[in-house]
Chains A and B, each alone.
Chain A
Amino acid sequence: MLGIGLIKGLAETGRNFVGSYLDPDRLVTVEYPEERLPVKENFRQFPFLVFDGEKADIGLRCVACQICEKECPPQCIYIEKSKDKKPDHLGKPQFYPAVFDIDISVCMSCQICVEVCPFDAIKMDQQFELSTADRFRGLLLTRDRLAKPNSHFQAIHPRDAAEIDMRRVDERAKAEAKAKADAEAKAKQATAAAPGATKAVASTPKPAAAPANEGAIS
């Protein structure tokens, strides 16, 4: 009969109206600025650079290899390699990015830079409240704005961070062991050759490794 479907529909909306006062399933609004949905661990927005330790300019993991720059689909990363080198967490001297700019007005949050980075240096941040009236300076993230401590990474991607930290501790332990072994071997050679030079050789890797170590554990 004419009107039955209409009445069924009215009953449905009526049920939802009443239900919105009784059943949380029928009132799904999350009042955003005050209430927030839990952020998913995998959620990604824009990249940031991880640094170990306290200071961004010392602990930056990025070695300016420019792989991410090349692989970035929309070409929104701009890197200038440093002239000099700094030791990384294993103590190996590496370049660092003198300029590392990401134009987040172009970035498509595809995470390919993260996937291709062999140094775990670039990761995805979860900050999304970035609206700004400043078109040119507000949206070009420079190295200083991109650098965030490892503790931040651990906070937003705990599973990933734990895995990476573990690996880096292992790597470091291996490197140290190797350095030690090398040093010992050298020391042996040295003692064999000239006993006076031992001390200087053995102490070389230490100062370089110190800041990286802090970061990995913090």
Chain B
Amino acid sequence: MAATGDSAAGHRLNLDPNEFGTTSESSASVETLEQILPRMKVAIPGVTFEVVPNSAPGAEPSWLVDREHALSAAFFLRDDSTLRLDYCSNVTGVDWPERTIKVKVRKGEPGAEKEVEETRVVPGYLEVVYHLYSMAAKHGPVVLRVRTPGRGNDVSLPSLTPVWRSCELQEREVYDLFGVHFENHPDLRRLLMWEGFKDHPMRKDYVPPDDYEYEPTPHDEILEKAQARLARREASS
């Protein structure tokens, strides 16, 4: 084998953690957002793009696009001659419930500012993440995020299925499990749960049905429920 005596093996394995894996190496060939943005602004007037940083070592940052222009941005990314992101690999729904965070804010009179910790409420939203690659140019990924305005039951996003057919089933799944309605999706039905199921189970606040009638090794909440059930049974008998 050619690589047997190759010192490259040892070398490769001592890579800087920031460059771990060749995925990030190949992603280097994708232009940065700064290079693309001017072109895109021309193509899609009014689009807002924002970089969402990613602090994991060696992982790619993602681009947040506003939902009004998501579809045209997707078309642009697919059809642009240098980007050619013809392959949408992965569609993920993420639920970010409302949370309170502590922020340090400078307050007070100008000149006499004080750093004060303030609690702030970040409104919840649902997010759909698209991982885009190019099969033609063999580069990627570009991570595209779209967010809903809230976490209600009728939040909607534009469907990207017209751009990439591969989103068809995955968007159905996101609809099923997270409750994001995709506008113009050709066939928006539940994918995994049965028709008539009422909830969206992958949301963080989903409460599963209690069907632990027999639980020999209970823990935490199930233990409590088991105890309550046992108490009821004893009371009734």
| Interface membership of chain A positions 128-154, coded 1 if the CB is closer than 8 angstroms to chain B and 0 otherwise | 000000001000100000000000000
User: Could you say which of A101-109, A156-164, A175-183, A202-210 contacts chain B?
Assistant: A101-109
A103 to B218, CA, bound (A): 10
B219 at interface, CB cutoff 8 A:
yes
CB distance from A117 to the nearest CB of B (A): 17
> Is B214's CB within 8 Å of the partner chain A?
yes
Residue of A78, A102, A136, A140 touching B218 (CB-CB under 8 A): A78
CB–CB A103/B219 < 8 A: no
Cβ–Cβ contact B214 & A77, under 8 A: no
Tally of A-B residue pairs with Cβ under 8 A? Answer: 17
Most buried by A among B214, B216, B217, B218: B217
- CB-CB < 8 A to B218: which residues of A? 78
CB pair A75 B217 closer than 8 Å: yes
CB distance from B223 to the nearest CB of A (A): 9
Report if A76 contacts B (CB, 8 A): yes
Q: How far is the CB of B230 from chain A (nearest CB, A)?
A: 14
Contact yes or no, A140 B216, CB < 8 A: yes
Q: Is the interface of A mostly helix, strand, loop or mixed?
A: strand
Residues of A within 8 A of B217 (CB): 75-78, 101-103, 106
User: How many residues of chain A are within 8 Å of chain B by beta carbon?
Assistant: 11
Residues of B in contact, count (CB < 8 Å): 5
List A residues 37-82 near B (Cβ within 8 Å): 69, 75-78
Q: How many angstroms between the C-alpha atoms of A75 and B218 in the bound complex?
A: 8
From 111 to 151 in chain B, residues with beta carbon under 8 angstroms from any chain A beta carbon are: none
Write the B202-216 contact mask toward A (1 if CB under 8 angstroms, else 0).
Answer: 000000000000101
User: CB within 8 Å of B: which of A71-115?
Assistant: 75-78, 101-103, 106
CA of A121 to CA of B217 in the docked complex: distance in angstroms? 19
CB-contacts of B196-237 with A (<8 A): 214, 216-219
A135 CB to closest chain B CB (Å) equals 9
Q: How far is the CB of A88 from chain B (nearest CB, A)?
A: 25
A139 (CB) vs chain B CBs: closest residue: B216
Shortest CB-to-CB span from B124 to chain A, Å, is 29
- Across-interface contacts of A140 in B (CB, < 8 A): 216
Q: How distant is the Cα of A140 from the Cα of B218 in the complex, in angstroms? A: 13
- Report A-chain residues with C-beta under 8 Å of the C-beta of B216: 78, 101, 103, 140
Nearest CB of B to A5, in Å: 35
B214: which A residues are within 8 A, CB to CB?
Answer: 136
Report Cα–Cα, A140/B215, bound state, in Å.
Answer: 10
Alpha-carbon separation in the docked complex, A11 to B128 (Å): 56
> Which of B216, B218, B219 has the largest count of A CB atoms less than 10 A from its CB?
B216
Contacts of A103 in B (CB 8 A): 216-217
Chain B: minimal CB distance from A139 (Å): 9
Q: How many angstroms from the CA of A75 to the CA of B219 in the assembled complex? A: 7
- The 3 lowest CB-CB distance pairs between A and B, nearest first, are A78-B217, A103-B217, A103-B216
Q: What 5 new A-B contacts, CB under 8 Å, besides A101-B217, A103-B217?
A: A69-B219, A75-B217, A75-B219, A77-B217, A102-B217
7 A-B pairs, CB-CB below 8 angstroms? A75-B217, A75-B219, A77-B217, A78-B216, A78-B218, A78-B219, A106-B217
